[in-house]
Structure 1
């Protein structure tokens, strides 16, 4: 069944970019690009040195808009309903909360595996593993 609203979480990585382009190519529905800013006290924060402020929020919004523009220029995309959103918090928790609060029925995201750790984390990455394991909607992980 074709989804009606796809969420694409973005972290600025090439895999996230590929996930967005995949969502554009495959799904003909509303897309939301979500950037999650991690707070200062989060272990996932940018070195634990950047506090959340209006500048970081505006930068995240601009990055989302630039991503949409770049992807649209590289694909033959018809006019689409694409929104951007910025949340603050733990990335996995913010993605899960956004899915619950905004009638999302599919998530497309990049997976960042590593060499260490359990098999699922090695294959998908910690955030993708949490989202796949906890969200009630279908998740496509782009690798």
Structure 2
């Protein structure tokens, strides 16, 4: 049966963008894009290693807005619209909670975000692995 609500978690990586394009091309239903902002431990900013808490939060907000705006643009180019959500928390846990709470019946996601070493490139990625293993719905992983 075709899904009625597809979730596409986005982290700004090329594979996540590919997942969005795949979802828009494949499924003719409601699509929600979710960007999860991962809070950093405030102690990491001590000694100037990272920006102060407010600078860091502002940077995270700007990055999330950029990811969401890019998703809206990609959807518009495909003649579609997407619902957009930004949440804060652990990415895998937040994705799974959103699936449970939002009537999602299919997840399409990239295999891993960001640049990683050669071994990590061969694996699905930690977030995708957790979501595939625990999601109560079908998960498509784009690689």
- In structure 1, runs of 5+ residues without a counterpart are 43-47
CA distance in 2, matches of 1:114, 1:96: 26
- In structure 2, runs of 5+ residues without a counterpart are 43-48
Match for residue 27 of structure 1? 27
Match for residue 17 of structure 1? 17
Higher relative contact order (CA 8 A, sep 6+): 2
In the alignment, structure 1 residue 70 sits paired with structure 2 residue 39? no
Give the RMSD, CA atoms, in angstroms: 2.5
CA distance in 1, matches of 2:135, 2:92: 10
Report how far residue 65 of structure 1 moved.
Answer: 1.9
Structure holding more helix per residue? 2
Alpha carbons of 1:114 and 1:54: their partners in 2 closer, same or farther (altered >3 Å)? closer
TM-score (norm 1): 0.79
In the alignment, structure 1 residue 57 sits paired with structure 2 residue 61? yes
Report how far residue 68 of structure 1 moved.
Answer: 2.4
Report the structure number with the largest CA radius of gyration: 2
Match for residue 40 of structure 1? 40
